[in-house]
Amino acid sequence: MAKWLDDAVFYEIYPQSFKDTNSDGIGDFNGIREKLDHIKELGCNAVWMNPCFESPFGDAGYDVSDYYKTAPRYGTNDELKRLMDEIHVRGMHILLDLVPGHTSIEHRWFRESMKAEDNAYTDRYVWTDSIWETPEGPGALRGISDRDGSCLASFFSHQPALNYGYYRPEKPWQQAMDAPGPRATVAELKKIMRFWLTMGCDGFRVDMAHSLVKGDEDGRGTIELWKEIRAFLDEEFPEAVMVSEWGEPDKALAGGFHMDFLLHFGPSHYNDLFRCEEPYFSGRGKGDVSEFVRRYRENYEKTAGKGLICIPSGNHDMARLARTIHGDELKVAFAFLLSMPGAPFIYYGDEIGMRYVEGLTSVEGGYDRTGSRSPMQWDGSVNAGFSLAGEEKLYIPLDPAPDRPTVAGQTADPDSLYHEVRELIALRQAHPALKNRGGIEFICAEKNAYPFVYLRSAEEERILVILNPSHRPASFACGYPLTAGLRTFGGEITVKDGTAAVPGGFYGFYRV
């Protein structure tokens, strides 16, 4: 089943900001098609593309108004098909972004659902039975139609929650998961998935996958629901790959997902690594990796053999890596990201160290996420090669820094982050121990200490990974001779009397 996932290395494309080919200032499918070779040459063999469906773009497309139609600004359904075909021609795969939890208020279903008279969409969303009763949750849509009720919001207050029922209905308006309304929502979800899988996508990244069934604190109802979806896929599209935005891998994998993201929210301590006051991967060397490792190990043990945990370089919801770490620190960070189990995800532009653009006004519901969504920087030509539109027409302003990194610039520089990332991916792909399903054992991950050391293994192969992001030298008790270095950066290690002295700003891979 979906063997390709065993050595998938993903690249996340934010379609608005990748490459514009018709000079309207917004990226499009044809632009992505033009730039597929960049992704391929980097060594990525899979793509996750953020939502590209019809939408009023109050949340950058996570507010869908027609699940069966691409947003005209990106191109037609046919153009998306062509893009998917070209991805496949290159031996690559693509996941589309499925937003099952909510729609836009402009969706036809919601317009119908707002009506006072009963109709086929009355129960498509979660409504109370009186305008004076507000459902418990992230917010509510109230007083905007003749229907006497409040509708539960799912994320922003313009994203009404689709109705998958309540795990244990308590109020008269709370429907059971097997009531006709929730069943109709599930049937429609399958139809949507069938539509895009038939057209050629290889699976989905699922938005807020944990959130579908309400009043379901420990996720049991939502897990049930996803199991039903997996059973449907096994029947009709057994190769379809499912990756969840859930943040609790044991639950996600129980629901039949192949892989779950560790997220910048939730209990993973992912933020300790790159996105906090003293990130572990900063040269200041004041960070802590031990809590992250403790949680990771728990998750890993719970999910071992069942599926994958993914640690992304970033995504469209969090600050870019290069906001908090810089220069060679990024290289050591990528040595980590590209040597962990689970498929790596590289957020577009992170491979060249694109920066978070400070001080931008929110674009399409981005708020502070907007600075991580600026146009891809291809080269030194007008608008960094992103678009030929006037600068004022660009979807989001470009990074104004005169020394902003570009793909062309970094391709020409053998010491660039781009080349480092490329080499690290190639190393991963050349060694089963480093690939997605290889095992991991943590050797050294002490509280507030450096280095960070782990052993990756598969079959006969064992590779020791040593990371010292701190600028200060560090040491650890090492039972291995470290003679077979596969790749090192930032100096050399010396081992004496069982102690390995590791230079500052170093990473190394050793066959042991």
Binding region for Ca ion (CB under 5 A) = 20, 22, 24, 26, 28
Q: Is 177 an interacting residue with respect to ligand GLC (CB under 6 A)?
A: no
Residue 155 makes contact with ligand GLC by CB under 6 A: yes
Residue whose beta carbon is closest to ligand GLC: 62
Residue 343 and residue 261: Cα distance in Å, rounded? 10
Q: Are 153 and 141 in contact (CB under 8 A)?
A: yes
Nearer Cβ to Ca ion (393/419)? 393
425: its two tokens: 């991916």
- Alpha-carbon distance 299 to 160, whole Å? 32
Near ligand GLC by CB under 6 A: residue from 47, 99, 153, 338 = 99
**Residue 373 CB, nearest approach to ligand GLC (Å):** 10
- Note whether 328 binds ligand GLC by CB under 6 A: no
Task: Based on the shown chain and the rule CB under 6 A, indicate whether residue 137 belongs to the binding site for ligand GLC.
Answer: no
CB of 334 vs ligand GLC, minimal distance in Å: 22
Q: Which does 22 bind (CB under 5 to 8 A by kind): ligand GLC, Ca ion, none?
A: Ca ion
- At 335, which helix (H) or strand (E)? helix 327-337
DSSP-assigned beta bridge partners for residue 507: 467, 489
316 binds, among ligand GLC, Ca ion, none (CB under 5 to 8 A by kind): ligand GLC
**Cα distance between residue 229 and residue 306, in whole Å:** 17
* Residue with smaller CB distance to ligand GLC, 208 or 293: 208
Question: Shortest Cβ distance from residue 284 to ligand GLC (Å)?
Answer: 30
The strand pairing partners of 312, in sequence order, are 345
Q: Which does 224 bind (CB under 5 to 8 A by kind): ligand GLC, Ca ion, none?
A: none
Give min distance, CB of 35 to Ca ion, in A. 13
From the list 163, 51, 148, 46, the residue with the least C-alpha distance to 102 is 163
* CA distance from start to end of the chain: 32
Work out whether the CA dihedral 158, 159, 164, 165 comes out positive or negative: negative
* 284 residue type, one letter: R
User: Between β-strands 452-458 and 461-468, what pairing exists: parallel, antiparallel or unpaired?
Assistant: antiparallel
Closest to 174 measured CA to CA, from 126, 223, 124, 119: 126
In this structure, are residues 88 and 110 in contact, taking their beta carbons and an 8 Å threshold?
no
Choose, by CB under 6 A, the member of 49, 193, 206, 208 that binds ligand GLC.
208
Q: How far is the CB of 365 from ligand GLC (least distance, A)?
A: 7
CB of 62 to ligand GLC, least distance (A): 3
62 alpha carbon, distance to own chain's centre = 14
Cβ distance to ligand GLC smaller for residue 38 or 373: 373
Single-letter amino acid code for the residue at 454: Y
Our finding on whether 207 is near ligand GLC (CB under 6 A) is: yes
**Which of Ca ion, ligand GLC, none interacts with 351 (beta carbon under 5 to 8 A by kind)?**
none
Binding site for ligand GLC (CB under 6 A): 59, 62, 99, 155, 207-208, 245, 316-317
